[in-house]
Amino acid sequence: PEGPSTLALELRWDDKPANRLPEATWAGFAPAGVDPDSMVLDKLGQDVSPRGVVAGGGRHLHAVGDGVRWEGPDGTVRLSTLDAPLVAPGRPRLLDPDPGPLDLAAGAWICLHDNVWGTNFPMWSEGRASFRFLLAWTPA
């Protein structure tokens, strides 16, 4: 068939207890059959490679628009993150003073919630939450 094949995913929890200690929940996506270094992030409608961020810039944590895309010899994988825009290429990272080099083979990690920052973020997340993703495959 022509066009992408799409899988809709929903990750949710019920009755999560509040926690005053620092915590974060992440969802990771590492598609097989693609070149990990082909990862690009949609930032304000522009494709940005995490490796293309200037030295000293924020390579390890990005807010994305549509999501993340990877290219492979057989086609393209696109992850649209509809409810959680904060993406960490390679591995989950929060308040990491020395993040080191990127390892894009570990995929893209989406921050579903955290209580690490006290400004513009809730200090605890409790109850129910739901996060939607679209995973699309477009053959070459």
What is the domain range of residue 56?
A: 5-139
Greatest mean pLDDT range, 22-36, 49-63, 91-105: 22-36
Extract long-range pairs of 113-121: CB within 8 Å, 24+ residues apart. Answer: 113/24, 113/25, 114/22, 114/23, 114/24, 114/25, 115/19, 115/22, 115/23, 115/24, 116/22, 116/24
Counting the structural domains of the chain, the total is 1
pTM for the predicted model, two decimal places: 0.90
The predicted-structure confidence for 84-111, as pLDDT tens digits, reads as follows 999 999 999 888 777 788 899 999 999 9
